Amino acid sequence: MRLRLTEDEAAFREEMRTFFTTEIPQHVRDTVAAGRHVGKDDYVETMRTMNAAGLAVPNWPVEWGGRDWTPLQRHIWHEEMQLACVPPPLAFNASMVGPVIANFGSQELKERFLPATANLDIWWAQGFSEPNAGSDLASLTTRATRDGDDWIVNGQKTWTTLGQHADWIFCLVRTDPEAERKQKGISFLLFPMDSPGVTLRPIELIDGSFEVNEVFFDDVRVPGDLLVGEVNQGWSYAKFLLGNERVGVAPVGATKRALATLKQTALDLGHLDDPLVAGRFVELENELLALELTALRVVAHSADGKPHPASSVLKLKGTELQQAVSELAVDLAGPLSLATGSDTVPEWAALAAPTYLNLRKASIYGGSNEIQRQIIAGTILGL
Amino acid sequence: MDFTLDEEQEALRDAVRGLLKGYDPAVDAERRRQVTAEDPGFDEGLWARLAEMGLLGLPFAEADGGMDAGPVEVAVVCEEIGRVLAPEPYVASVVLAGGLVAALGSDQQRADLLGGLAAGERLLAYADGEVAEPVIQGARADTIVWHVGGEVFVGDRPTGATAYRTHDGGRAARLELDRSTVVPLGDGGDVSEVVALVTAQARIAACHEALGAMDTALRMTTAYLTTRQQFGVTLNRFQALTFRAADLYTALELTRSIVTWATMVAAESDDPAAVRTAAARAKLQTARAGRLIAQEAIQLHGGIGMTAEYAVGHYTSRLTAINHWLGDARDQVATLSADLAAHTVLDPLEA
């Protein structure tokens, strides 16, 4: 057993800390720190800055801009980024479609897309969920049928996060409706969002924000060379992608920072003198510490880059704590949390309720927490 | 960053596990009941075998009859003890009372007391206050280490102390200090800082014992869910039950992380305050998870979990006892609340 970082690891952490706190534009970090929505330009500027330093896509193969880091280095990179209030590289690019293309795509697709994806020259949208395929994703019905060398896509995707900014979409489409198992007839297709027949409709969320969209496909023509890997093998690529999604989905650093910011506010307002309030901070800090240490255990013992089964614990508990911190913020704001439209109450209080409402999503996306419990009960406990 | 045991530590774990196997309630459900039914509430024969293996002197210097091992080795032993719910007072006698003697005792006191403890010939108990209750094994112990107002004394067990049974099958007593029968441990004077540090080390050891007990309680529960049939199917067909088991696993793994971390802090840090804080954090998490797992283990078993014949309820009782010993959740929250403003974010690697 050993707790301390090695000298090299400690130096790496210092290097990351310095980079994130000095190279990322302050106005972007201020936006994240305040809990405001991050705009497209801020995402692009940040990811390009990171890409120029070779820090945008460390999980990719080295020849496409990845870094040959240990799991612990990746963890440190991710934590320091969050602690410094830096918006992470766009997940659809860096964690989802990029690794899929790098692992399963043709050389031509790699050359065409990977550099632009790493630099956020292309903004990708995720076309997975459908109105009738949520947790049961393999039930998706969006169809792609052959027309010569092309594919013709018809159907609908939903919950397409930040699709309003997207240049391209990666989609799971059904290419063999007759397949023995529903997982067997799915392919992984790429196409531009401005293709004729693509319609995007924003969905307003309960906090008034516009983060997600419905995307409709009406006879969208997609050239055959934009199918990743092999026909009808899309489900295995999707599983690979979702495995990556679950690893990054426990926002330990960001939640720690949010709690620390809230604690400072509570301290300034004298709320920490109330033992009931102080007790809630103590319990949350402690659970977050336990979560972070669990993440470190998973990182230290994950083999071959495959997600550790306990990563389901990270998603489950990580989102619960993220939500609990937002709940504490609303409670501290009290009646001021109603004043969301006011420009006289402090910003943290005005944002508390919308943030709390917005974060109800966290236990639903990335494999709902019920799916995570199913995985823990089935895969780990053998129930 | 490494959360795993090295080869020697694994060998130690296997040896302790092997020794305790016959005491596992899952192997012999009646043995623990018989042992705890009569005074002193633990198996003197097993205590002697723990001494033979060197475990009763594990954390003490070789010169004092010990093995010169550290917090990780102590943690390994405690976890195995908790796993089979062994009623032997390892944490109370070796880690806490023995730990105080090791930290404060004169050469002569250490040689006598720790030598006797390590050999299994002298049982130590720890008493807090002039009138101390409950003193774990206070009526059986040969020697009492007293903590009174920041000072620590040592002396023979007062005459006339009688043991009573604690709900977890152990024994305790009420002891009154007679100053004419004790001497200072070491030089005497205010040693509150040392007491706080040794208590923190004992707290971490107790968390490991609880961790072992939680692990078994969850294991028994999942085994039961896959075998017990109702409505013509095994209970694991009911998602309302399996989801609760998943939550118990989550609580257990978070606790394992923080308790293991606290042991690493105790093993590596030169700062007593860091060890005290780590112990408080581990104890708080253990109290929360221990209560959850202990309650749910019975509930998921149903009525059988309530019976004294069946082991799982005893795990609940023991976990409850550990929760309220050496400072419970309320105490830890109070301690940690006082420190809230001293840091922005917690950094486990800088502890």
pLDDT score, position A249: 60
Catalytically annotated residue among A80, A130, A211, A245: A245
Q: Is the domain of A266 the same as that of A212?
A: no
Tell me the average pLDDT of chain B. 96
Reported as a pLDDT band with limits 50, 70 and 90, residue A247 is low
Chain A contact set for B271 (CB, 8 A): none
Q: What is the mean pLDDT of residues A283-303?
A: 89
Q: What is the dihedral of CA B159, B165, B169, B174, to 10 degrees?
A: -50
Domain CATH number, residue A157? 2.40.110.10
Let me know if residue B122 belongs to a domain.
yes
Q: Is the domain of B254 the same as that of B174?
A: no
Let me know if residue A133 belongs to a domain.
yes
Let me know if residue B332 belongs to a domain.
yes
Q: What is the mean pLDDT of residues A168-183?
A: 96
The residues in A 231-270 lying below 8 A from B, measured between CB atoms, are 256-257, 259-260, 263-264, 267
CB distance A301–B249 less than 8 Å? Answer: no
Gap between the terminal Cα atoms of chain B? 13
Which element (helix H / strand E) includes A79? helix A71-83
- Domain end call among B123, B149, B184: B184
Q: Is the domain of A263 the same as that of A319?
A: yes
pLDDT over 80 at A301, yes or no? no
Q: Is the domain of A256 the same as that of A226?
A: no
Share of chain B above pLDDT 90, in %: 96
Chain B contact set for A301 (CB, 8 A): 3-4
- Domain end call among B152, B184, B216: B184
pLDDT score, position A309: 67
Q: Is the domain of B84 the same as that of B198?
A: no
CB distance A282–B345 less than 8 Å? Answer: no
Identify the domain containing residue A85 by its residue range: 7-89
Let me know if residue A182 belongs to a domain.
yes
Select from B253, B264, B349 the Cβ nearest to the Cβ of A313. B253
Domain CATH number, residue B308? 1.20.140.10
What is the mean pLDDT for each group of 10 consecutive residues in chain B (351 residues)?
93 97 86 95 97 97 95 98 97 98 98 97 97 97 97 96 96 97 97 98 98 98 97 97 98 97 96 97 98 98 95 97 98 97 91 64
Per-residue pLDDT tens digits for A80-114: 999 999 999 999 999 999 999 999 999 999 999 99
CB distance B336–A263 less than 8 Å? Answer: no
Calculate Rg over the CA atoms of chain A.
Answer: 21
pLDDT over 60 at A335, yes or no? yes
Reported as a pLDDT band with limits 50, 70 and 90, residue A371 is very high
The number of domains in chain A is: 3
Task: Name the residue in chain B with its Cα closest to that of A256.
Answer: B345
pLDDT score, position A250: 75
Per-residue pLDDT tens digits for B89-116: 999 999 999 999 999 999 999 999 999 9
Q: Is the domain of B278 the same as that of B207?
A: yes
Q: Is the domain of A130 the same as that of A220?
A: yes
Q: Is the domain of A253 the same as that of A375?
A: yes
Tell me the average pLDDT of chain A. 94
ipTM confidence score? 0.96
Q: Is the domain of A253 the same as that of A349?
A: yes
Q: What's the gap in Å between the CA of A142 and the closest CA on chain B?
A: 31
pLDDT score, position A232: 97
DSSP secondary structure string, A228-293? ESSTT-HHHHHHHHHHHHHHTT--HHHHHHHHHHHHHHHHHTTGGGSHHHHHHHHHHHHHHHHHHH
pLDDT score, position A38: 94
Chain B contact set for A275 (CB, 8 A): 334, 337
Which whole-number Å values give the CA distances from B238 to B228, B233, B304, B312, in the listed order? 12, 9, 18, 21
CB distance A272–B264 less than 8 Å? Answer: no
The lowest-confidence range among A129-138, A325-334, B104-113, B277-286 is: A129-138
Q: Is the domain of B13 the same as that of B156?
A: yes
Let me know if residue A178 belongs to a domain.
yes
Reported as a pLDDT band with limits 50, 70 and 90, residue A135 is confident
pLDDT over 60 at A246, yes or no? no
pLDDT score, position B349: 86
Q: Is the domain of A78 the same as that of A130?
A: no
State yes or no: is A214 an active-site residue: no
Reported as a pLDDT band with limits 50, 70 and 90, residue A303 is low
Q: Is the domain of A284 the same as that of A168?
A: no
Q: Is the domain of B12 the same as that of B119?
A: yes
pLDDT score, position A302: 63
Let me know if residue B1 belongs to a domain.
no
CB distance B261–A293 less than 8 Å? Answer: yes
Q: Is the domain of B178 the same as that of B200?
A: no
Chain B contact set for A310 (CB, 8 A): 253
Let me know if residue A13 belongs to a domain.
yes
Let me know if residue B2 belongs to a domain.
no
Q: What is the mean pLDDT of residues A312-329?
A: 96
Let me know if residue A103 belongs to a domain.
no
Q: Is the domain of B68 the same as that of B160?
A: yes
A52: burial class by Cβ within 10 Å (0-12, 13-18, 19+)? exposed
Looking at residue A225, the DSSP 8-state letter turns out to be G
Which whole-number Å values give the CA distances from A111 to A91, A107, A114, A152, in the listed order? 20, 6, 6, 25
pLDDT score, position A242: 80
Q: Is the domain of B179 the same as that of B209?
A: no
Q: Is the domain of A218 the same as that of A288?
A: no
Q: Is the domain of B201 the same as that of B178?
A: no
Select from A5, A279, A286 the Cβ nearest to the Cβ of B281. A286
Domain CATH number, residue A293? 1.20.140.10
Q: Is the domain of B14 the same as that of B114?
A: yes
Q: Is the domain of B228 the same as that of B311?
A: yes
For the record, the structure tokens of B109 come out as 């006191």
Identify the domain containing residue B263 by its residue range: 192-350
- Domain end call among B123, B152, B184: B184
The number of domains in chain B is: 2
Let me know if residue A257 belongs to a domain.
yes
Domain CATH number, residue B53? 1.10.540.10
User: Chain B contact for A285, CB < 8 A?
Assistant: yes
Q: Is the domain of A260 the same as that of A222?
A: no
CB distance B246–A376 less than 8 Å? Answer: yes
